[in-house]
């Protein structure tokens, strides 16, 4: 009996995988797209289930030092022309700017305000950055659980930035594809704030891309849905496409 127990424990240790290893694999399967262009639809749903829809276009440049992205609002009229530019940094807070056409000025988003709502949605400015393992700490082995009938690695990560609006995040990552499926976000009071669901993954030129993301706020009963359409990768975008001067063009 003792020998069986030792063998069982040894076997379990062979198949154990740490939360950091899971995160690295999850990040890797989404990398390599170089750059992307896509149409986006943002649906805002309030506590009374009333909906508002916004249309945008998004371009992203993949960089080892941190991705660059530019989001432009196309409709409705009250947000048309608004632009959001993000320079991600793996070792410090991102640089972010918002162009407001009504005021014809560019507003820099201060690091201490990254937890604020983006354009009235349930996504914060912090949520709009690409996932980078360098921005978090990971401890322990991942737990294998069932999520919607499929096996997933469940683990915890903690943001390193002192300006993060989150104390911790709990993630569920598919054990076969290493695609992220769900994330719970806990506020600075350790209370569950939001849950994000990632769906409709598709492969474009061999690279996985997410098709839909639903963010539910448990503290105000609001929800925001992001849908990516007509996405193309490796289109030849360059640094000049993400210069700050494009905000006022």
Q: Give the model confidence (pLDDT) of 44-76 as tens digits.
A: 999 999 999 999 999 999 998 899 999 999 999
Helix (H, G, I), strand (E, B) or coil at 3: helix
Flag whether 44 is in a domain: yes
Flag whether 148 is in a domain: yes
Domain that holds residue 85: 18-248
Q: What is the pLDDT of residue 14?
A: 44
Flag whether 194 is in a domain: yes
Structure tokens at 21: 């290893």
Flag whether 8 is in a domain: no
pTM attached to this predicted model: 0.92
Tell me the average pLDDT across 23-28: 96
Flag whether 10 is in a domain: no
Short-list 105, 144, 134, 58, CA closest to 247: 105
Name every residue whose Cβ is closer than 8 Å to that of residue 87 and which is 6 or more positions away in sequence: 66, 68, 94, 95, 96, 242
116-130 confidence digits (pLDDT tens): 999 999 999 999 988
Quote the number of domains for the chain. Answer: 1
H or E segment to which residue 86 belongs: strand 83-87
> In a 10 Å sphere around its CB, with 0-12 CB exposed, 13-18 middle and 19+ buried, how is residue 157 labelled?
buried
Query: With bands split at pLDDT 50, 70 and 90, how would you rate the model's confidence at 8?
Result: very low
**Residue 154 belongs to domain with CATH number:** 2.50.20.10
- For the chain, the straight-line distance linking the first and the last C-alpha, in angstroms and rounded, comes to 74
């Amino acid at each position: 009996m003792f020998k069986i127990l030792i063998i069982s424990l040894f076997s379990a240790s062979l198949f154990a995988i740490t939360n950091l290893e899971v995160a690295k694999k999850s990040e890797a399967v989404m990398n390599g797209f170089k750059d992307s262009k896509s149409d986006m639809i943002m649906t805002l749903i309030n506590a009374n289930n009333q909906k508002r829809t916004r249309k945008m276009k998004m371009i992203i440049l993949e960089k080892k030092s941190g991705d660059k992205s530019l989001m432009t609002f196309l409709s409705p009229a009250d947000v048309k022309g608004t632009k959001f530019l993000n320079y991600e940094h793996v070792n410090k807070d991102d640089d972010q700017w918002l162009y407001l056409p009504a005021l014809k000025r560019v507003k820099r988003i201060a690091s201490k305000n990254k937890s604020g709502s983006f354009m009235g949605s349930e996504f914060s400015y912090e949520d709009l950055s690409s996932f980078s393992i360098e921005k978090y700490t990971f401890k322990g082995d991942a737990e294998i659980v069932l999520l919607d009938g499929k096996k997933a690695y469940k683990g915890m990560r903690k943001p390193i930035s002192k300006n993060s609006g989150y104390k911790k995040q709990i993630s569920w990552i598919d054990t076969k594809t290493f695609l992220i499926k769900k994330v719970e976000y806990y506020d600075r009071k350790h209370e569950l704030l939001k849950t994000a669901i990632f769906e409709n993954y598709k492969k474009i030129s061999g690279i996985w891309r997410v098709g839909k993301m639903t963010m539910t706020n448990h503290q105000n009963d609001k929800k925001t849905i992001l849908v990516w359409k007509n996405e193309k990768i490796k289109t030849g975008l360059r640094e000049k496409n993400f210069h700050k001067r494009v905000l006022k063009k």
